[in-house]
Amino acid sequence: MHATAVPTPSQPAPHGAAYQTVEFDAGLLQRLGKSGPRYTSYPTADRFVEDFGYRDYLHAVAGMRTRGGARPLSLYLHIPFCDTVCYYCACNKVVTRNREKAATYLAYLKREIAMQAALFASTNEVEQLHFGGGTPTYLSDAQMDDLMGHLRRSFRFAPDAAGEFSIEVDPRTVSPERVHTLRRQGFNRISLGVQDFDPEVQRAVNRVQPEMETRAVIDAARAAGFRSVSIDLIYGLPKQTLETMRQTLDKVVAASPDRIAVYHYAHMPHLFKPQRRINEADMPDSETKLLMLQLCIERLADAGYVYIGMDHFARPGDDLAVAQRQGRLHRNFQGYSTHADTDLVACGVSAIGAVGATYSQNVKTLDEYYDLLDQNELPVARGIRLGMDDALRRSLIQKLMCQFEVSIPALEQAFPIVFRDYFAPELARLRQMEDDGLLAIGEEWLTVTMKGRLLIRNICMVFDRYLAVRPEGPRHSQTV
């Protein structure tokens, strides 16, 4: 396996100029790949504590209001329902064809939204909205109309041209007419789960999804005026081969989405029961998975996509690529985001929010969710309040994940530390990575090299104080 490269927008490039390239070093990836967090937060969600509850969340919101905080809001709504189970899935979901369950859930979700809206008292404008799941389009058109109307009565939304309002859809359950309806309901970004176009792979994971259905949804999204269309793929699934992956990539490139996410399948059947239905003998080995990753990088680079980071690619003119070039890129529980200065308000079972210097997560079962809302309490199950060290490391890890570089003087100006003294043990550990060519440690900058970008999680793990107390384990996916 030879080294390869893919465009990346780490520095502004004049019109027509070539982007810098990220290097694929198979030997290094094979040697250093291990289990580790994805850093959609720091501290990561597995470090949240049950001592943090509803009243702690209220205190965090009150503290933010006392300080005169009127930052924009990002809303996340979790719709947990699916018609069928996809065997690879690791989401918190409820598989049912009983539509009454969704009607009950919607009534309680609206109560939670109203309670959250009362806390923020319409002083904060919603710049970002994301519906995840499960399958958000499990809700009917009428139910979605009702929910979106309730949201707009409860919160003040940014204009369509300024806000980012996205929804995840399953192309098997959404007609072109439904796509146009979603646009009229206020969504302007759409994300499609594809995973793989090969019929045999689809059958192996119980997600049979003809290519024509997916293309029809993409075409409808373009016609309806969606600003962005994103496709999710997974490599490492059962029955996948390099050839099936190549064919899937060709079809995806032909569809020309604005963003593409290529996830490494994390097989953790001890945590996620549906994965126990996957025949492990059908799964590609480690070397084949690395070749698949290399193929994805090369094919998407050839098609003109920019490597954003982790598993995300985007067109050079896409908002994600632009935000990264301008130093505005952010990372949260939905992945990469262009809205860095927002408080994240999350509603629904298992949803995770971030307000001020806290994270909070809702209960994970419908019964607990309903019981707490019946008691007029927000259904917060656990969370964490960040100390100074947490905030410092969160800032550093965010910069590494999003910009691949950290200004040492800027960090010292923002926090009461001397970088080289405070992080002396971490810098000692980074020297080996520097020797491997993954990063450069300068007087004023910590800079991840083109070779190190595919191993950014490994670099961030050096700064994760919680891993020193409880090391990474099988609850995390592989870093590559």
**Residue 217 reports pLDDT greater than 60:** yes
Q: Is 168 helix (H, G, I), strand (E, B) or coil?
A: strand
**Domain limits, the chain:** 4-37+388-469, 53-167+342-384, 170-303
C-beta of residue 280 within 8 angstroms of C-beta of residue 337: no
Of the candidate ranges 7-16, 80-89, 234-243, 249-258, the one whose mean pLDDT is the lowest = 7-16
Residue 8 is predicted with a pLDDT of 55
Q: Before 37, cis peptide (omega within 30)? A: no
pTM for this entry: 0.91
Same fold, 4-37+388-469 and 170-303: no
Identify the CATH number of the domain defined by range 4-37+388-469: 1.10.10.920
| 174-198 per-position pLDDT tens digit | 999 999 999 999 999 999 999 999 9
- 18 confidence band (pLDDT: 50, 70, 90): very low
DSSP at 277: G
The mean per-residue pLDDT over the stretch 286-297 comes to 91
CA dihedral 178→183→187→190, nearest 10 degrees, is 60
- Lookup: tokens for 245: 């992956």
| 440-470 per-position pLDDT tens digit | 999 999 999 999 999 999 999 999 999 977 6
Residue 13 is predicted with a pLDDT of 39
Q: Domain 170-303 classified CATH 3.40.640.10?
A: no
> How many CB atoms within 10 Å of residue 83?
12
C-beta of residue 16 within 8 angstroms of C-beta of residue 28: no
Residue 67 is predicted with a pLDDT of 73
Of the candidate ranges 64-73, 240-249, 252-261, the one whose mean pLDDT is the lowest = 64-73
Identify the bridge partners of residue 307 per DSSP, sorted by sequence position.
313
C-beta of residue 10 within 8 angstroms of C-beta of residue 405: yes
Strands (E), 258-410: 259-264, 306-309, 312-314, 330-332, 335-337, 343-347, 352-355, 358-362, 380-385, 405-407
Residue 11 is predicted with a pLDDT of 42
Tokens 């980074």 belong to which residue? Answer: 430
C-beta of residue 114 within 8 angstroms of C-beta of residue 61: no
**Residue 3 reports pLDDT greater than 70:** no
The mean per-residue pLDDT over the stretch 145-156 comes to 96
Largest Cα span, the chain: 61
Residue 104 is predicted with a pLDDT of 97
For 5, the enclosing helix (H) or strand (E) is strand 4-8
Residue 327 is predicted with a pLDDT of 86
**Residue 60 reports pLDDT greater than 80:** yes
Residue 479 is predicted with a pLDDT of 56
Residue 32 is predicted with a pLDDT of 86
Residue 409 is predicted with a pLDDT of 97
- Lookup: tokens for 227: 């600003």
Of the candidate ranges 119-133, 250-264, 426-440, the one whose mean pLDDT is the lowest = 119-133
CA-wise closest residue to 245 among 319, 195, 190, 287? 195
Q: Is 154 helix (H, G, I), strand (E, B) or coil?
A: helix
**Residue 65 reports pLDDT greater than 90:** no
The mean per-residue pLDDT over the stretch 409-430 comes to 96
Residue 4 is predicted with a pLDDT of 53
DSSP-derived pairing of the beta strands 164-169 and 156-157: unpaired
Mean pLDDT across the chain: 90
